Structure 1
Amino acid sequence: MDKTLWEKALAFSFDNPNDEYGFSTRLALENHWTLYFTQSAILEYKKFLFLAATNNEMVSPSEIVDIVWHQHLIFTNSYSDFCSLFGKRIEHIPSTHNKSEFEKFQIAKERTTTLYELNFGAQPAEVWNYNNEFDSLQLEKSKFDVKKLRKNFFKYTLIASIPVYLIIYSLLIKIQNPYFIIGYLLLYVAVFLVLKYYVRNKFSSLYAELESNAIVKNLTAFELVYFRDNSLDAVIHGVMNKLIERNKVKILGNNRLELIDESLGYNPYENCVIEVMKEFDPMPYKQLCWNVRQKPIFEQLQKATYRIKDRIIASKPFTNVMIVAMISLGTLLTIGLSRLFSGFWRDKPIVFLVIALVPLVFITLYYLNQLLNLIFTDIIPSSTKEKVLSRGESQRDWEWDYFLYGTAVLSTAFIPLINYASPSSLSSGDYFSFSSSDSSSSCGSSCGSSGSSCGSSCGSSCGSSCGGCGGD
């Protein structure tokens, strides 16, 4: 292995510090990747091109590496400079899907694995073994759509109440009030408490199976803040507070903020806010939050975390827990509704039963909404907190402190602006849904602000059809 050449390749940066929509941000945003996985994919791409440059036979990328390669080809100046570092142009050779080529490309893939292991050790599975990095979570997809089940929960409960009413009618008319209402409320509380224990236990077990995965294990502090608060504004509050602490931003009257130091630093989130504030006169914090939310680096964070949510929520283990919760609470509600029907049919007083049932319905619906986010707003952050705290203060920066302590670390002068700023347009129960096609890079995307010419065209999306590259 040419260690000197590899060190040069490793040190090569695909990003300019001041780019708002540079290579890494664009790659992460277009594919809805986390920051860790984006950097991991770029590293593996560098390793792949190093193997291509230092061997005379064809090597072949993985699906993930090929996405990075396609992106880099669009940044033509950067790609040319990277190839110049190796001393030769590395050409992209797409497959034509001809059967005669299959064996050639299969041999190239096997050769790539062998060369990689000789030079770098074992290949990271999430980059090399899967077309979609979240397949590495090994979560079986459920055949049920839990979000649709939750949306139609009350409708299904009302429908189920009819057969339940017919089945237990003879029993219902034997139990007199107030014994039924008292017993029913006690039963609901008991089932609810048992269900809460069951759900938390199951979700904790599910996370325990996922936390060793490299993507989950390497979530950033801001990605975890977004999980916990389910709001992009919560991330912006942390960034803005740090700028105020560093005397780069000053709080004015009327909930306005003024940029007093335009110098950029190492933190891309802070730099993004500074660049936004440069474009405007002192503005209300509410308006500033809205402008910042539209920027690629914050949009990327939102989309990456939503994609993780969607994958876990769509899994069989998660859906099974939700179904148990919906069946348990739905059964309780059908009993109450059946009693209501029987009382109405027999012309009995039902006022107290209605008073008891209405809040139970709302509590049930609210709780089911909370369950959709419980693993993300509570279990993952709580478990991560314990690990972060065990590292000690010397191992943490301000982002991790903000994740750990939340609003407790915010300046008292800044708190009123947070209360003034409108909440994110997303409620605590909302999240985006991305199809599998969203996670693939599009060759036809425009160059945006890449600052390079788009003279080369991908021609077609490689996907699994990308053969690789030749040697010389």
Structure 2
Amino acid sequence: MLSVMDQHRELSLQRATFKIDIQSDEPVWTPARQELWQRVERHDFEPDTALNFTQRLARDHGWSLEDARAAVDAYRRFCFLAIVSPTPVTPSEIVDEVWHQHLIYSRDYWDRWCGETLRAQLHHDPTPGGPEAQMTYRRQYAETLALHERLFGPPSPQLWPATHLRFAGPRYHATDRSRWFILPKPVAWIRRLLRR
């Protein structure tokens, strides 16, 4: 039987096989990373319940089920990147919303997602605030986009906006819908008018 220190050392060695050397021309899809990605893809975010994770995500954010599924897929990729990246990664706001919700599904998050799927702890640290942290997160986000492109191709701008847009200001706000009317901005309608 392995001691706790030996188990920790063994897990660290296993995780080291996932890390990408960004400067090298090594193949990004090694067998270890392919196996990790297959586990990530197999994780069930839509179990057969009255209100599953993805449905709740759609309901709580006013998203269509299709948009919620796309956000979950972006979250899967982000978590994979967090494991294989040699440096910290930063999510888009949409991916961060999915991550926040997953954290409240604590048994699924810690036992199944981190324990069985990722086989690593993935902590969510809040920003300490200030200009230095802002610069750090902007750099990490740009690096996350570059790593996403290397592994999965260009990220969707709807889910992963450009760095200057991501850090333009908070876009999500918790609102008590019983006290406020929430109207969508008529962006698509205005764009159609301007094209005429």
Question: Under a length normalisation based on structure 1, what TM-score does the superposition of the two structures give?
Answer: 0.29
Deviation at 1:39, TM superposition (A): 0.6
Asked whether 1:316 is paired with 2:193, we answer: no
The residue correspondences of 1:95-114 to structure 2 (distance < 5 A) are 95-114=127-146
Q: Tell me, what secondary structure is at the counterpart of 1:125?
A: coil
Kindly provide the CA deviation profile for residues 49-105 of structure 1, in whole angstroms up to 9, marking residues without a partner as x: 001012231100001000000010010011111112212110101112212212221
Kindly provide the CA deviation profile for residues 7-50 of structure 1, in whole angstroms up to 9, marking residues without a partner as x: 11011112321x11221111000111112111110001000000
Structure 1, unmatched stretches of 5+, are: 132-306, 321-472
The range that moved more, 54-63 or 309-318, is: 309-318
Would you say the 8 A contact 1:313–1:319 is kept in 2? Answer: no
Asked whether 1:125 is paired with 2:157, we answer: yes
Q: Tell me, what secondary structure is at the counterpart of 2:45?
A: coil
> Paired residue for 2:121?
89
Which of 63, 68, 92 is equivalent to 2:98? Answer: 68
> Paired residue for 1:340?
none
> Paired residue for 1:330?
none
Identity in percent: 28
Would you say the 8 A contact 1:28–1:35 is kept in 2? Answer: yes
The residue correspondences of 1:161-176 to structure 2 (distance < 5 A) are none
> Paired residue for 2:86?
56
- For 1:78 and 1:99, the matched residues in 2 are separated by 35
> Paired residue for 2:147?
115
Structure 2, unmatched stretches of 5+, are: 1-28, 167-181
Would you say the 8 A contact 1:60–1:105 is kept in 2? Answer: yes
- For 1:39 and 1:314, the matched residues in 2 are separated by 22
Q: Tell me, what secondary structure is at the counterpart of 1:93?
A: coil
Q: Tell me, what secondary structure is at the counterpart of 2:159?
A: helix
- For 1:106 and 1:14, the matched residues in 2 are separated by 29
Moved segments of 4+, more than 2 Å: 309-320
> Paired residue for 1:462?
none
Q: Tell me, what secondary structure is at the counterpart of 1:61?
A: coil
Would you say the 8 A contact 1:45–1:68 is kept in 2? Answer: yes
- For 2:66 and 2:86, the matched residues in 1 are separated by 32
Asked whether 1:35 is paired with 2:65, we answer: yes
Deviation at 1:310, TM superposition (A): 4.1
**Greater RCO (CA < 8 Å, at least 6 residues apart):** 1
- For 2:85 and 2:191, the matched residues in 1 are separated by 45
Question: Under a length normalisation based on structure 2, what TM-score does the superposition of the two structures give?
Answer: 0.66
Would you say the 8 A contact 1:27–1:71 is kept in 2? Answer: yes
CA pair 3-98 structure 1, distance change in 2 beyond 3 A:
same
Q: Tell me how large the CA RMSD over aligned residues is.
A: 2.3
Letter in 1 for 2:47: N
CA pair 313-108 structure 1, distance change in 2 beyond 3 A:
closer
- For 2:118 and 2:190, the matched residues in 1 are separated by 46
Which of 55, 61, 81 is equivalent to 1:25? Answer: 55
Aligned length: 143
Task: Say which structure is richer in helix.
Answer: 1
Which structure has the larger Rg over C-alpha atoms? Answer: 1
